[in-house]
Structure 1
Amino acid sequence: MSLANVRVVLVRPHYAGNLGSAARVMRNFGLADLVLVAPFARPTDLEARRLATHGLPVLDAARIVPDLGDALADCSLTLATSSLTAGVARRGMIGPAAEMMPKLLGAAAAGPVGLVFGPEPHGLSNDEIGRCNGLVHIPVAPEFPSLNLAQAVAVCCYELRKAYSAAATVANPADTHAPKVASHAEQERMFEHLREAFTAVGFLFGGRADSLMHAVRQFLGRANPTPQDVKLMHGLARQLLFAAGKTPHRGEPET
C-alpha cells in the first residue's frame, strides 16, 4: 500500500505561508502530490518558500489548475474537509479524520484519490463539497471550530500516516483483484446524464431537485462504481430520456 496516490488539493489558498507549511507537512508524512486550484498565493512567493523548508520539492512540483474538476478528474475517491457538518450538502459519507483516512488509503491502492481543503476565509462551498464523495471533519472545541489551513492539512496527513503504518504491519497483502473504480471525470459525466434523465421524467423537480440529486450522488458514490457500473447508469439514463421523448444524451460511453 502506497501514499503516492494520495493527492492534497488546496482550493483558492490565500496565504503563501500556508502553502509552504502544507508542503512541509506533506513531506513529513510521506506525501508528494500537491494541486492548487485557482490559488491567490503562489508557490514562488518568498513566504511560501521560507516556511516549506525541506518541503520545497513538494512545493516546486505543485500543479496549478483552474477548477476543482481538473484537480480530481482521475481520482476514484474524493474527500472534502469542513468544520461544518450541518446541511444537505454535508450529508452522506462523513466522519472524523481518524475514521475517514483509512477509507481514503484503501481506495488509493487502486489509483489516485483526493483530499480537498478550502480557502482560509470561508472554506469550501456547498457545491464544492457536493462534488466530492465524502466529508472529513476534525473534532474541535465548538466555541472555536475553524482550524488554520496548514494545521488541518497536518491533522489529516498525520491520520493518513497512522493508517498507512497500521496497514504496513498487517501480514495479508492488499487485494490486487479489487475491481477498478471509475474516475471522478467518468462519474461526473454519469451524474450529469442521470440528472438530465431524472429531470425529463419528473423525478427532479422544483426546490427539491438539488437535494434529491445530492442524495443520488451520495448513494452511488458510496458504492464505488466501476467503469461498467457507470456504463449501466448511462444506459438507464438513455432509456429514461427515450421514454420521455427527449433527444439522447451524447456524452456517455459506448455500451
Structure 2
Amino acid sequence: MNDLHAVNTILADHLRIVLVGTQHPGNIGAAARAMKTMGLSKLVLVAPEKAPDRDTLAMAAGADDLVERASVFASLAEAVADCRWVLGATARNRRIQLEPLHPRDAAQRALVAAAAGPVALVFGRERTGLNNAELQLCHAAVHIPSDPAFSSLNLAAAVQVLSYELRCALLGDAGSAGQSRTPPPTAEVAAHAELEGLFAQLADTLDQIDFHKGRAPDSAMRKLRRLYLRANLDSADVRLLRGVLADTQRMARIAGEASVDKKIR
C-alpha cells in the first residue's frame, strides 16, 4: 500500500493544471481549492489578466499554498515546453480538429502519460476559452458533457470535474480507458518543446520548397501536426526528422542559387 501511495504521489506530481488568461483573480483561488481537494498540487498560470490578490486567497479557502507556489508564464508554449502530453479543455468544436476525449478516458490516458513525464490539463479564459493557436499546442481535447440546454460551467467547476476524474484514475476507480486512435505516450516520448521545434522547421521547409503553391499554409500544418502528434515521436525520431528537413532545406537553397546563377548568365 505504501508503494502504491508513493507511485500515486509521483504521478500526481506530474499532473499540472494550467489556467490561461484568467480574467478574475477569485477564479484562480477557486480552481486551486478544487485541485487540492482532489490531491493535485501543480498550478500553472499563463498571462493572467490580474495577479492573484485577496479575492484569490479568499476563494482558495485553505489552498493558499497552491496559489503561492504557482508558476507563471507569458505563453502557453513556455508553460508546456517540458510536457509529454497536453490536453485542452474546450466547450465547443473548433477548426482545430483535435482528438475528442470523454473526461473519464482523458483522465486514464493522462495518468498513463504521467508515468513518462509532465502532463498538462489546460483551461482557457472564462468568456472565450482557449483560442485556436493555443488549442493547436494540445495533443487532444476534453469536453465535459454538460446539458446542451444549459452547458455553461464556470472555470473552477470545470477544474473540479476533471480533477475528480484524475483522482478516480489515481485511485483505480475509473475503469479501463476507452478505445482511442492515439496510444498513450511512452517514457521516451519527445518533450513538447522538441515537437514545436520540429513543427517550426517543417513550416519553414514547406515554405522554402513552395509546397503550398500559393494556398494558405494553416490547413496543411494543422493536419501535419495531428499526424506527428498521433505518432508519439521520441527524441531520436525528432532528431531524424529534423535532419531530413535540414537536408531538404540545404537542397532547396542549392537549387535556388543555381536558378539565380542561370538567370544571371
Question: TM-score, normalized by length of structure 2?
Answer: 0.84
Q: What is the match of residue 175 of structure 1?
A: none
Is 1:140 matched with 2:146?
A: yes
Q: What is the match of residue 38 of structure 2?
A: 29
Is 1:185 matched with 2:193?
A: yes
Is 1:18 matched with 2:27?
A: yes
Gaps of 5+ in 1: 171-177, 248-255
| Kept after mapping to 1: 8 A contact 2:18/2:120 | yes
| Kept after mapping to 2: 8 A contact 1:76/1:111 | yes
Give runs of aligned pairs for residues 141-180 of structure 1, distance below 5 A. 141-166=147-172, 178-180=186-188
2-structure distance, mates of 1:130, 1:59: 27
| Kept after mapping to 2: 8 A contact 1:199/1:205 | no
Return closer, same or farther for 1:246/1:141 CA change in 2, 3 Å cut-off: farther
Q: What is the match of residue 70 of structure 2?
A: 62
RMSD (Å) for aligned C-alpha atoms = 2.0
Q: What is the match of residue 180 of structure 2?
A: none
Which structure has the bigger radius of gyration? 2
Q: Deviations along 1:132-179, whole A, 9 cap, x unmatched? A: 111111111223333211111111111111111117999xxxxxxx54
| Kept after mapping to 2: 8 A contact 1:35/1:71 | yes
Q: What is the match of residue 237 of structure 1?
A: 245
Cα deviation, residue 246, structure 1: 6.4
> What amino acid maps onto 2:30 in structure 1?
S
1-structure distance, mates of 2:174, 2:92: 33
Q: What is the match of residue 4 of structure 2?
A: none
- Identify which range, 159-168 or 96-105, moves more after superposition: 159-168
Q: Deviations along 1:173-229, whole A, 9 cap, x unmatched? A: xxxxx5411111111101101111122223334444111101111111122211001
Cα deviation, residue 120, structure 1: 0.7
- Identify which range, 135-144 or 31-40, moves more after superposition: 135-144
Is 1:104 matched with 2:104?
A: no
Is 1:200 matched with 2:192?
A: no
1-structure distance, mates of 2:153, 2:129: 10
1-structure distance, mates of 2:88, 2:128: 14
Cα deviation, residue 110, structure 1: 1.2
Q: What is the match of residue 262 of structure 2?
A: none
Q: What is the match of residue 49 of structure 2?
A: 40
Corresponding residue SS for 1:54:
coil
Give runs of aligned pairs for residues 68-83 of structure 1, distance below 5 A. 68-83=76-91
Percent identity between matched residues is 38
> What amino acid maps onto 1:237 in structure 2?
L
Corresponding residue SS for 2:18:
strand
- What is the aligned residue count? 237
Gaps of 5+ in 2: 1-6, 177-185, 256-265
Identify which of 104, 122, 131 aligns with 1:125. 131
Q: Deviations along 1:73-118, whole A, 9 cap, x unmatched? A: 110110111101242x1x1322121121211111111111111110
> What amino acid maps onto 1:200 in structure 2?
Q
Question: TM-score, normalized by length of structure 1?
Answer: 0.87
2-structure distance, mates of 1:81, 1:246: 45
2-structure distance, mates of 1:204, 1:162: 46
2-structure distance, mates of 1:138, 1:111: 25
Is 1:9 matched with 2:18?
A: yes
